[in-house]
A and B are shown apart, each in its own frame.
Chain A
């Protein structure tokens, strides 16, 4: 997936200012930045939900799966009914077969007949991701997927996502948790106030932070990162 010079304005406010992003097959790219940095706007443009005011997006062959930050599913329907509905709407030849596949992949088979409203936040997020994966996308966009999850659920989520990437799916996720991004993102894109500040490997980001904010270099990475943003005027 390749995006070049993306610009998005909401009235007078510029949400994105010429942002570039390139992701290779099987790569896990983390988009980090404080609240209001433009992370969700960037993912929404990549998912073709929001049209950019400038720039271009080239998607690979095959569909792009999108998992929004808040679970986009029907809480009064069961896990199985939710999956079946979206499989039917996507026009699968064998919707029931696709549902079985997703239930197995996400480990939700035993909870298939439970209404989503009764599931924990973590399991709701798994269903949310399962719907995003129904079309077997070559690119999966995850908008802050671990928000509201406890550490155990978070670990299971990333184990699952890593498995997808290992199978060749490109994963682009957003987060404001710098440590999570560093741990799971093979490559990181730092956004602040709609501006792209950094694009590179996690180790390279550490070096950039040290170079930009040497006074915070011996402190924890999150504090150093905040100092880095401050130095860059954000």
Chain B
């Protein structure tokens, strides 16, 4: 077997263009896919005009809130194009230079501050949009809506906190500053205590009965306002999100992107190499000569799978080492990487052997391997919920039959310490090795036909 392996490596070395393409092409695809998955969507260009006077702060109940850093928050979500005035903002939107303009008017903060007064005015921001690109327009809508929702929530929380302080003052009493002057507030609790203490001093009769009614009111008001405070707090965020992971644990996006890139590389290298190499034995008419007592068909298949695993391992590890410059990888998990690459490589190589045994020519088998591997790889990346249930079930079956998805799962588990267990995917891959090995062995019978 080792001499055949040496021969295949010699053949590969004699075809430098083919070898380079075999390695470079999948690496290129893998890197592109990795970028596409891990890179955040492009930020839309938005003209931004903040007319709020510098240093103006939102204040609730006479208390100034800390600076919100509105400019930074806005520009973190969109690509800000600063404009001097509203006319310039309109001009930029009309010319298509920007997709939208966000204008924070001069009276925005004073309107927010009026919310805690007896004459509230609704704060407004202005959004000017250009919807020539529907995809980007939707992105702008989502970003700005999200931004405003966050701003509304922050203000509501502040108001609730201030309202809570007033309630506390009403219940327990304390000092309130009005127009720079400190005013002492008695509070319902102390009021009820004083009234209770006064009651015995009054003679029985209508006055004493009235005093008892006032005392009862003060006590009930104190108790009910105690309950009201948490209710008001809930107004700021009435619905809470409780996230519970019931199935699967998703790895960090960059780790998943690396796993996709590495598995894609492994898949192309092993499937194309093994399928092509096996078809070459037939194209060169060497198969009957080899299997005439020199090598058994099973040993020949084993050699091809080994070739695919070896070359796939080298290329994938080189790729991971290269990606290390962009994303730090956990090299202490190297043993698991090795296991994942070898198991994935074995299953993919067995699938390549089955394809190679089914076709007659190297060109035909290369095309076939490409046409099978690429769509299966893309189908394996379709998340549940992205398409209809029935179609997704079908995709699940198709992708479970080809080794790409379990290889990707094994690679993800190997790369991510907090990821899922690697045992399941390895078992899946082992079953696929056996299945495709059997198919390849049966298909090889056609090779012997004269």
Q: Is residue A73 contacting chain B, with contact meaning CB distance below 8 A?
A: yes
Across-interface contacts of A76 in B (CB, < 8 A): 10-11, 14-15
**Are A115 and B14 in contact (CB-based, < 8 A)?**
yes
Q: Is residue B7 contacting chain A, with contact meaning CB distance below 8 A?
A: yes
Interface stretch of the complex, out of B50-58, B285-293, B347-355: B285-293
The number of chain A residues touching the other chain, given as a range, is 20 to 34
CA distance A76 to B7 in the complex (A): 10
CA distance A74 to B448 in the complex (A): 18
**Are B14 and A70 in contact (CB-based, < 8 A)?**
no
From B13, which residue of chain A is reached at the shortest CB distance?
A76
Choose one: A40, A68, A75, A81; the contact of B289 (CB below 8 Å): A68
Task: Report the minimum CB–CB distance from B100 to chain A (whole Å).
Answer: 60
Q: Is residue A44 contacting chain B, with contact meaning CB distance below 8 A?
A: yes
B258-298: which have CB < 8 Å to A? 284-286, 288-290, 292-295
Q: Is residue B326 contacting chain A, with contact meaning CB distance below 8 A?
A: no
From A116, which residue of chain B is reached at the shortest CB distance?
B284
Task: Report the minimum CB–CB distance from B291 to chain A (whole Å).
Answer: 8
Choose one: A41, A48, A81; the contact of B450 (CB below 8 Å): A41
Interface stretch of the complex, out of A29-37, A84-92, A147-155, A171-179: A84-92
A43-100: which have CB < 8 Å to B? 44, 47-50, 66, 68, 70-77, 81, 85-86, 88-90
Choose one: B14, B448, B450; the contact of A40 (CB below 8 Å): B450
B1-57: which have CB < 8 Å to A? 3-4, 6-7, 10-11, 14-15
Q: Is residue A131 contacting chain B, with contact meaning CB distance below 8 A?
A: yes
**Are B294 and A77 in contact (CB-based, < 8 A)?**
no
Across-interface contacts of B3 in A (CB, < 8 A): 85, 88-89
From A76, which residue of chain B is reached at the shortest CB distance?
B14
Across-interface contacts of A86 in B (CB, < 8 A): 289, 294
CA distance A40 to B450 in the complex (A): 8
**Are A72 and B286 in contact (CB-based, < 8 A)?**
yes
**Are A90 and B7 in contact (CB-based, < 8 A)?**
no
**Are B292 and A47 in contact (CB-based, < 8 A)?**
yes
> Given A44-B450, A49-B450, A76-B15 in contact, is the A85-B7 Cβ separation under 8 Å?
yes
CA distance A158 to B15 in the complex (A): 35
**Are A74 and B450 in contact (CB-based, < 8 A)?**
no
Task: Report the minimum CB–CB distance from A68 to chain B (whole Å).
Answer: 6
A1-20 vs B, CB cutoff 8 Å, 1 = contact: the mask equals 00000000000000000000
**Are A77 and B288 in contact (CB-based, < 8 A)?**
no
Task: Report the minimum CB–CB distance from B269 to chain A (whole Å).
Answer: 19
Task: Report the minimum CB–CB distance from B326 to chain A (whole Å).
Answer: 37
Across-interface contacts of A75 in B (CB, < 8 A): 284
Across-interface contacts of B14 in A (CB, < 8 A): 76-77, 115
From A10, which residue of chain B is reached at the shortest CB distance?
B449
CA distance A131 to B10 in the complex (A): 19
Across-interface contacts of A115 in B (CB, < 8 A): 14
Across-interface contacts of A49 in B (CB, < 8 A): 288, 292, 448, 450
CA distance A61 to B292 in the complex (A): 17
CA distance A153 to B10 in the complex (A): 30
Across-interface contacts of B10 in A (CB, < 8 A): 76-77, 81
**Are B290 and A89 in contact (CB-based, < 8 A)?**
yes
From A50, which residue of chain B is reached at the shortest CB distance?
B450
> Given A48-B292, A49-B292, A89-B295 in contact, is the A71-B285 Cβ separation under 8 Å?
yes
Extra pairs beyond A40-B450, A81-B7, A86-B289 (8, CB < 8 Å): A49-B288, A49-B450, A72-B286, A74-B284, A75-B284, A88-B3, A89-B290, A131-B289
The contact sample of 17 A-B pairs, CB cut-off 8 A, is A40-B450, A44-B288, A66-B292, A68-B285, A71-B285, A74-B286, A76-B10, A76-B15, A77-B7, A81-B10, A85-B4, A85-B6, A88-B3, A89-B3, A89-B294, A90-B294, A115-B14
